[in-house]
Chain A
Amino acid sequence: MPKTLAEKVYDAHVVRSAEGEPDLLYIDLHLVHEVTSPQAFDGLRAAGRTVRHPELTMATEDHNVPTLDILKPIADPVSRAQVEALRRNAAEFGIRLAPMGDRDQGIVHVIGPQLGLTQPGMTIVCGDSHTSTHGAFGALAFGIGTSEVEHVLATQTLPQYRPKQMAVTVDGELPEGVSAKDVILAVIAKIGTNGAAGHVIEYRGSAIEALSMEARMTICNMSIEAGARAGLIAPDQTTFDFLQGRPHAPQGADWDAAVEHWRSLRTDEGAVFDTEVVLDAAQLSPFVTWGTNPGQGLPLTERVPDPADFADENERRAAEQALAYMGLEPGTPLREIEVDTVFLGSCTNGRIEDLRVAADLLRGKKVDPGTRMLVVPGSVGVKLQAEAEGLDQVFVEAGAEWRGAGCSMCLGMNPDQLQPGERSASTSNRNFQGRQGKGGRTHLVSPSVAAATALTGRLTAPADLIGA
């Protein structure tokens, strides 16, 4: 029977299946960070269990990291205790950890691909919903809760129910200035914030195939914002070229064997998807969210919607609550919304390509005097690369802040936060109430919209800058 890519990867990892029970799936790589793991390690200790495969496990510090004083002990005692717990657990159970100050440290979903640990056809989990990022390589990668983290540590497997299959096809050519972030925001606006519940999404079509690995990661990263279990893209030459020569990529004869296998990881002709969504790349434009979930987005050329125009009562109420929180009036052109802060970073858009796009727009210009811009590389590796290319200088000369690697202002767990009522244009993935700090208001945007917005202090597309 013809199979989808996700079904192939899933089937290749079934350890055991029995009628009326979930399948037991083998996990090839388990990524760990400080927030969702301490209770899992405590559980192991309480039951007298060990980590079954420390060598298939990798830990990093990211969520609590202060991006200004990255080489000093964390000032907040609660954050410090959490990071120290991870250090103790990694040492006790023999797990490799990239702590602050290590050249491999960074956001968990940035370092996996960077090190070449993320490879096609693997199953990858992490106690973090954006694990879907790794699907960009044709891996089946999904977020899990802390009890499941404990389960994977103890057994290297996870009980799973077979997911439904969704195809999101984007054909055609993306217009100038339209990026992967705009594609995925448009997809989420179309299917809704939980519209892909129960599904794995495969992104396909000529517009997807034309994307770089960084851009593919941006798309797969936000699969969870549509409610999907995972999102993936079939591996191709772009994938292989990205991986070759990375520290953990196979070498020599192993590389050839791996590539041969990876080439088989494509959805078969005639495979059936439970749900299909189609977008025309040529119709897409820079996208921005106006509300408090990632599905509440529109092209930047539009206006803030009127809740009265929503037919569904739940959606109308959600729009009313969102506008009240965001402090927005229906009918306001999105391009007139003024922001206080621009955040460029996160596991969605904190990679080298994202920084290059933004730096190109900022080069030789100045950030609007009323606007603060924070540029946070997703990993130490990205930081060093950007500095080697002189991008840090571009940002600093434009008046932006150049920081150390971490989750930073993606979530209010470290010192980088919005103040109550403050408004941001952010390249991260969640515009939930309070996500970037208590009372903060978030508009999700692409790196180029973030940079253009920093220059004007209002939500701005790069095309708007011409002649400005």
Chain B
Amino acid sequence: MDAFTTHTGTAAPLRRSAVDTDQIIPAEYLKRITRTGFEDGLFVAWRTNEPDFVLNRPEYADASVLVAGPDFGTGSSREHAVWALLDGGFRVVISSRFADIFKNNSTKSGLLTVTLPQEQVEALWAAIEADPATPVTVDLQSKTVTYGATTVPFEVEDYIRWRLLEGLDDVGLTERHLADIEAYEARRPSWLPRALPVLGG
């Protein structure tokens, strides 16, 4: 995973709430077995059907920070939603509330999700709509979002922040605790099910 320390870019205002992962990338794009190349599916229905959709507007075409309404990433657990955002050039999504699985998935591939109070999302929307060229800096070291003369702090779990700053992947970290896993396995009740075929069943 690529490390995330700080990122500066322009931002796109996505004034929609409860953006589900079917909108971020529809099911037909999930048939692929690769981990990259999902940019063509990113918000494809809105990009196709709504000429005025924010990402169709040239002033937001190069945005790398997405500022969305509340409850971003609801629905399906598809990690393809995170991959599509990354493939589409986004490094940060800001919202007042995220769906749990999306937020968790984002930490696995180095997409930063930043939770800000809705008033601050509104203020940021106003700023990037007034001037789409406004640079927005998201600094994971100092846990702040800065644009113009405004700097606002955000919260992130220390452990997740450390993993993102270092670009560490979870499997390697867990393998350090193999002894604990083996000890747990020795304690498991023997009647727990095994998925192997039942003979004569």
Instruction: Using CB atoms and an 8 Å cutoff, list the residues of chain A in contact with chain B.
Output: 15-16, 20-22, 24, 26, 28-29, 35-36, 38-39, 42, 47, 49, 55-58, 63-64, 76, 78-79, 81-82, 85, 95-96, 116-117, 119, 122, 127-129, 143-148, 150-151, 154-157, 159, 161, 192-194, 197-198, 224-225, 227, 229, 247-250, 254-255, 257-258, 261, 293, 295, 314-315, 317-318, 321, 411-413, 430, 432-435, 438
Is A318 touching B193 in the complex (CB atoms < 8 A)? no
User: Can you list 5 A-B pairs, Cβ within 8 angstroms, ordered by A?
Assistant: A81-B33, A151-B171, A254-B190, A318-B16, A412-B26
A318 vs B72: C-alpha distance when bound (angstroms)? 13
From B4-12, B56-64, B174-182, the one touching the partner chain is: B174-182
A399 vs B98: C-alpha distance when bound (angstroms)? 44
A-B pair number, CB within 8 angstroms? 208
Give chain A residues whose Cβ lies under 8 Å from the Cβ of B185: 26, 156
CB of A419, distance to nearest CB on chain B (Å) = 14
Give 13 new A-B contacts, CB below 8 A, not counting A412-B28, A432-B20.
A28-B193, A49-B171, A55-B195, A122-B193, A129-B75, A143-B77, A147-B105, A154-B171, A193-B71, A254-B191, A314-B70, A317-B16, A438-B45
Is A157 touching B181 in the complex (CB atoms < 8 A)? yes
Give chain B residues whose Cβ lies under 8 Å from the Cβ of A129: 75-77, 101
Q: Which residue of B lies closest to A261 (CB)?
A: B189
Give chain B residues whose Cβ lies under 8 Å from the Cβ of A192: 71
A42 vs B34: C-alpha distance when bound (angstroms)? 9
Is A147 touching B108 in the complex (CB atoms < 8 A)? yes
A380 vs B25: C-alpha distance when bound (angstroms)? 30
Is B17 touching A197 in the complex (CB atoms < 8 A)? no
Give chain A residues whose Cβ lies under 8 Å from the Cβ of B196: 55, 96
A80 vs B70: C-alpha distance when bound (angstroms)? 37
Among all A-B residue pairs, the 10 with the closest Cβ atoms: A147-B108, A145-B79, A145-B105, A38-B33, A254-B191, A58-B195, A194-B71, A143-B77, A129-B77, A250-B191
CB of B101, distance to nearest CB on chain A (Å) = 6
Interface residues on B, range: 35 or more
**Which residues from 18 to 65 on chain B have a C-beta closer than 8 Å to any C-beta of chain A?**
18, 20, 22-23, 26-28, 30-35, 45
A24 vs B194: C-alpha distance when bound (angstroms)? 21
CB of A123, distance to nearest CB on chain B (Å) = 10
Give chain A residues whose Cβ lies under 8 Å from the Cβ of B28: 412-413
- Given known A24-B174, A56-B195, A432-B23, contact A321–B99 (CB-CB < 8 A): no
Q: Which residue of B lies closest to A412 (CB)?
A: B27
- Given known A39-B35, A314-B17, A434-B26, contact A24–B177 (CB-CB < 8 A): yes
Q: 1/0 per residue B101-115: CB within 8 Å of A? A: 100110011000000
CB of B163, distance to nearest CB on chain A (Å) = 10
- Given known A24-B177, A57-B195, A129-B101, contact A194–B159 (CB-CB < 8 A): no
B158 at interface, CB cutoff 8 A = yes
Best-surrounded residue of B45, B104, B193 (most CB of chain A within 10 A):
B193
Best-surrounded residue of B100, B109, B185 (most CB of chain A within 10 A):
B100
Give chain B residues whose Cβ lies under 8 Å from the Cβ of A21: 159
Q: Which listed residue (B16, B101, B170, B198) contacts A247, Cβ 8 A?
A: B198
- Given known A247-B201, A432-B23, contact A55–B99 (CB-CB < 8 A): no
Q: Which residue of B lies closest to A14 (CB)?
A: B184
Q: Which residue of A lies closest to B107 (CB)?
A: A147
Q: Which residue of B lies closest to A322 (CB)?
A: B18
A329 vs B106: C-alpha distance when bound (angstroms)? 38
Is B75 touching A432 in the complex (CB atoms < 8 A)? yes
Give chain A residues whose Cβ lies under 8 Å from the Cβ of B183: 15
A78 vs B28: C-alpha distance when bound (angstroms)? 10
Q: Which listed residue (B75, B80, B191) contacts A258, Cβ 8 A?
A: B191
